[in-house]
């Protein structure tokens, strides 16, 4: 169980890093869209977040990111 959890956390992290590393290419293909990523592959795309959640099998364990043309500054 612990090994599975470690693998899941690392895979999830790797997918977020993959999105960051591939942002320019993803902008060309999916600008202003929400994407779901698993194992370094885009498994779902939609401009509507809720619609994307309905499309993908396990949103609670999936990397979901917005590929936006508009840069935004966040102060949290």
Partner 1 sequence: MIVHGRLIGDAPFFAVHVQHARFGGIVWMLADTGASRTALLDRDSLSLRIPGDILIPADPPVVGIGGSAATYLVSDVEFTLTGETGLFVRKHDLCVVRHPLESLRTPERARMLRLPSVLGRGMIGPSRFTYESSSRTVTLEFGA
Q: x/- site string to partner 1, residues 14 to 53, per CB under 8 A? A: --xx--x----------------------------xx--x
**CB-count burial class (<10 Å; 0-12, 13-18, 19+) for 20:** exposed
Q: Could you give the CA distance from residue 53 to residue 20 in angstroms, rounded to a whole number?
A: 21
57 near partner 1 (CB under 8 A): no
Q: Could you give the CA distance from residue 50 to residue 47 in angstroms, rounded to a whole number?
A: 9
Residues that bind partner 1 (CB under 8 A): 2, 5-6, 8-10, 12-13, 16-17, 20, 49-50, 53, 59-64, 66, 68, 72, 74-76
């Amino acid at each position: 169980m612990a090994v599975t959890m470690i693998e899941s956390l690392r895979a999830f992290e790797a997918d977020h890093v993959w999105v960051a590393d591939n942002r320019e290419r993803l902008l060309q293909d999916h600008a202003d869209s929400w994407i779901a990523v698993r194992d370094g592959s885009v498994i779902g795309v939609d401009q509507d977040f809720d619609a994307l959640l309905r499309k993908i099998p396990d949103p609670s364990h999936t990397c979901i990111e917005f590929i936006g043309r508009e840069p935004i500054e966040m102060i949290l």
